Chain A
Amino acid sequence: MKDLYRRNNLESGESNAVKIHGIENGFEEDREAAFSIFLNQARKDVYDNTHRTLKSIGRLRTTFNLNTVDWKNNNSDYVALTQKPIIRHQSTEKNEPVFQNKKSFNEGTTFNTNKKSTSKIKNENVHSTFNSNRDNSASSDSKSQNLQVLLQKFAWICGVSFFVVIVWLMFFGRDSGMEAEAPKKQYKYAANRIVNVYRKPSLSETIVASLKKYEDVTVNPVKSKGEWDFVNIGEKGAYVLREELTFGSGEKKLLEDCRMDGVARPESSELLLYRPTGIHKLIISNPPGKDALLKMKSSHGKTAFFAYIRGGENFIVENIAEGDYYFEFSIGDNYGPSCGIFLDETYVVRDEEPKYFNSRLDGFKQYPKTITYVLKSEIFNTKRIPMQNF
């Protein structure tokens, strides 16, 4: 299902006149649908309810990693971009609910919380047993006193031995190599161009992700098995063949490799990658200071163009295709042409808010859209990203 509100820049409560204006200026391919739905109250009601539900489901599917290919294909307008971490609600042992299920649907199955009451009953029974014993037996007091003295002695011995062990470890443990040390995390990076990440340590298992060359990962040596390193990717973690990872920082290695190929300073008019297919125009403005690199990417992550803009210069890109785009830019010194990044004093940011290139039609002519984009790291929606992901 398409999000006709977003595609036509409309809000759900707007009047019909505003809607007609919005639809006329929106996407041509959605015009027929928008007219036939927004101007028919019965259809609009059904559409609005489904739209609201799908927005919630889209966010939930992203949060719970349920965005299957089918879902993305049919409801690409309702795929949330960012993933929020799930904070599980805290329930103490005493308050933990118990869900009792009776399998047959017609037998009046209940979702009751009975654990609390059960544990209460158990505690009461324990207390009553303990009390009755004390009342009935005259010698139980002296026995319990002896037990208390024994327990105190035992606790004292335990405390002293613990202290002795700590002192011994402090003075001798280090020299004798017996220091109790928790296994440390290992920091590695992908050594090959594309490194597959598997659900379980076997080449026949499902591939859950892939790493680009120089991408950093954290390895958990405790969970690593044989020739496989356990990496913290996704909720549960996954496995990568050890030979495809190298110790160290991917970012440092990337810079080292790029430096060997030398540096350059292209002209602002030089487009490093360009796929012209449309009618729209983008004016990029780089304030005086450092040079910048700009990448415009489609919502699928494909780069539409890649440009170098010198500090204090403007640059115009024409023939941009219709659609939503995300901007990623980098500012720094010493451009490495072989890697397409700055090698010194560099930082890379991504503008989380997409820019829409959509044409306006008046029945006779199609008017292109022009967007001016100023390269500033202080833009409201920018987020710093690793250099390797640029």
Chain B
Amino acid sequence: MNSKTIFFDELCGASQGVDVSVTLGLLWMAACDGSITPNEQKKIAKYYNSAPGNEVFQNSIFRKKALAALKDEDSDVLEKMCDVLKKDLNIDEQQYFFRLLIDIASAEDAISVSKNYILRFFLDLFEIESDYLSKEYLSVTGELLPELGDPSSPLWWDYEDSVKTGSFETMARYRENLSEAQARHILGLSNTAIAKDIKMAYRRLAQHYHPDRHEGLDDTKRKKLEQSFLLVQQAYEVLKR
């Protein structure tokens, strides 16, 4: 047993196992991209200001140790945290914790791939239906949950760069010159996917991105949504040929 596990046990033994785990979960979400941004700090502080009885987060030594454990990918600490969260929280509490995570994940403009993965992990850990994530993400942030990206793929980076530059012309060019491999990646399909898989993936994504399904969005968000929808359509056209 290493020193970090002992520190977790010490704090849990002091009757705060759930608080320690909740705080660790929030810190994991905030720090998974390397550092905690001011916006994320504000979101966490906002929650803890509304919970003044909670002494765990106020403890600066705990915060330092927790961040060090998360940085070192200490699997013992993470396993214990997940075990407590899974077994000691009831369904309502798990859903509330999940909303907190979404709130922190969406503190910056775009949700990172790591955060997206952590959200999906907790969704599976708490055995919550998969629809819940996209619905809650929309209700908490007012935006659509992005599909999982693949930072090990140059294709994904090409698309990300064209989105970041923001010019819809660039995106349109990207769309027109879509290769079969890129189209497969956009629809989240492997090389072995058959016609039925392609159709199902297209229908799922088209429903997800269809502008008519999301009323009340402002102009910029609506345009982004339309671009995503067009990209999905184009990917389907490429694979249908």
Binding site for B on A (CB under 8 A): 1-4, 32-33, 36-37, 43, 45-50, 52-57, 59-61, 63-64, 66, 68, 73-74, 84, 86-91, 94-99, 101, 103, 105, 108-114, 116
On whether the beta carbons of A95 and B157 are closer than 8 Å, the reply is no
Known: A33-B153, A53-B118, A97-B19. 20 other contacts (CB 8 A): A32-B154, A45-B34, A46-B113, A47-B151, A50-B117, A52-B32, A52-B114, A54-B114, A56-B75, A57-B121, A60-B121, A61-B124, A88-B83, A91-B17, A95-B14, A101-B90, A105-B99, A108-B50, A110-B50, A112-B19
Residues of A close to B227: CB separation below 8 A: none
Which of B8, B15, B86, B152 is close to A96, meaning CB atoms less than 8 Å apart? B15
The answer to the question of B168 belonging to the interface, with a C-beta cut-off of 8 Å to chain A, is no
Residues of A close to B99: CB separation below 8 A: 105
Residues of A close to B90: CB separation below 8 A: 99, 101
The answer to the question of B33 belonging to the interface, with a C-beta cut-off of 8 Å to chain A, is yes
A261 to B190, CA, bound (A): 46
Q: What is the minimal beta-carbon distance from A90 to any residue of chain B, in angstroms? A: 8
- For chain B, the bracket of interface size reads 35 or more
Residues of B close to A3: CB separation below 8 A: 152
Q: What is the minimal beta-carbon distance from A26 to any residue of chain B, in angstroms? A: 13
On whether the beta carbons of B117 and A54 are closer than 8 Å, the reply is yes
On whether the beta carbons of A111 and B51 are closer than 8 Å, the reply is yes
Residues of B close to A90: CB separation below 8 A: 13
Closest B residue to A111 by beta carbon equals B22
Q: What is the minimal beta-carbon distance from A182 to any residue of chain B, in angstroms? A: 28
The answer to the question of B9 belonging to the interface, with a C-beta cut-off of 8 Å to chain A, is yes
Residues of A close to B125: CB separation below 8 A: 60, 64, 66
List 24 A-B residue pairs with CB atoms under 8 Å apart, sorted by A's residue number: A1-B113, A1-B152, A33-B153, A48-B34, A49-B32, A50-B113, A50-B114, A50-B117, A53-B114, A55-B73, A60-B79, A60-B121, A61-B124, A74-B150, A86-B83, A91-B17, A98-B18, A99-B88, A99-B89, A101-B92, A103-B92, A103-B96, A109-B50, A112-B54
Tell which of B12, B22, B34, B96 has the most Cβ of chain A within 10 Å. Answer: B96
Tell which of A60, A88, A98 has the most Cβ of chain B within 10 Å. Answer: A60
Which of A33, A57, A66, A68 is close to B117, meaning CB atoms less than 8 Å apart? A57
On whether the beta carbons of A66 and B112 are closer than 8 Å, the reply is no
Residues of A close to B80: CB separation below 8 A: 87, 89
On whether the beta carbons of A52 and B121 are closer than 8 Å, the reply is no
A207 to B218, CA, bound (A): 48
On whether the beta carbons of A37 and B154 are closer than 8 Å, the reply is yes
The answer to the question of B176 belonging to the interface, with a C-beta cut-off of 8 Å to chain A, is no
- By Cβ-Cβ distance, the 9 closest A-B pairs, closest first, are A108-B50, A110-B51, A95-B15, A53-B114, A2-B152, A97-B18, A101-B93, A36-B154, A47-B151
On whether the beta carbons of B75 and A111 are closer than 8 Å, the reply is no
Residues of B close to A91: CB separation below 8 A: 12-13, 15, 17
On whether the beta carbons of A113 and B114 are closer than 8 Å, the reply is no
Residues of B close to A36: CB separation below 8 A: 154, 157
Q: What is the minimal beta-carbon distance from B140 to any residue of chain A, in angstroms? A: 8
Residues of A close to B100: CB separation below 8 A: 105
Residues of A close to B18: CB separation below 8 A: 97-99, 111, 113
Residues of B close to A64: CB separation below 8 A: 82, 86, 125
On whether the beta carbons of A46 and B93 are closer than 8 Å, the reply is no
Which of A32, A60, A87, A116 is close to B78, meaning CB atoms less than 8 Å apart? A60
Which of A47, A60, A99 is close to B93, meaning CB atoms less than 8 Å apart? A99
Q: What is the minimal beta-carbon distance from B97 to any residue of chain A, in angstroms? A: 8
A181 to B87, CA, bound (A): 34
Residues of B close to A2: CB separation below 8 A: 152-153
The answer to the question of B233 belonging to the interface, with a C-beta cut-off of 8 Å to chain A, is no
Residues of A close to B17: CB separation below 8 A: 89, 91, 97
A228 to B103, CA, bound (A): 47
A73 to B191, CA, bound (A): 12
Tell which of B16, B53, B117 has the most Cβ of chain A within 10 Å. Answer: B117
Q: What is the minimal beta-carbon distance from A267 to any residue of chain B, in angstroms? A: 40
Which of A43, A89, A108 is close to B84, meaning CB atoms less than 8 Å apart? A89
Residues of A close to B140: CB separation below 8 A: 105
A66 to B22, CA, bound (A): 20
Tell which of B13, B32, B78, B121 has the most Cβ of chain A within 10 Å. Answer: B121
Q: Assuming the A-B contacts A52-B73, A68-B124, are A37 and B118 also in contact, with contact meaning beta carbons closer than 8 angstroms in the complex?
A: no
Residues of A close to B87: CB separation below 8 A: 88
Interface residues as binary, B173-210 with A (CB distance below 8 Å gives 1, 0 otherwise): 00000000000000000100000000000000000000
On whether the beta carbons of B152 and A56 are closer than 8 Å, the reply is no
Closest A residue to B140 by beta carbon equals A105
On whether the beta carbons of A110 and B151 are closer than 8 Å, the reply is no
Q: What is the minimal beta-carbon distance from A45 to any residue of chain B, in angstroms? A: 7
Interface residues as binary, B1-36 with A (CB distance below 8 Å gives 1, 0 otherwise): 000000011001111111100100000000011100
Residues of B close to A63: CB separation below 8 A: 79, 82
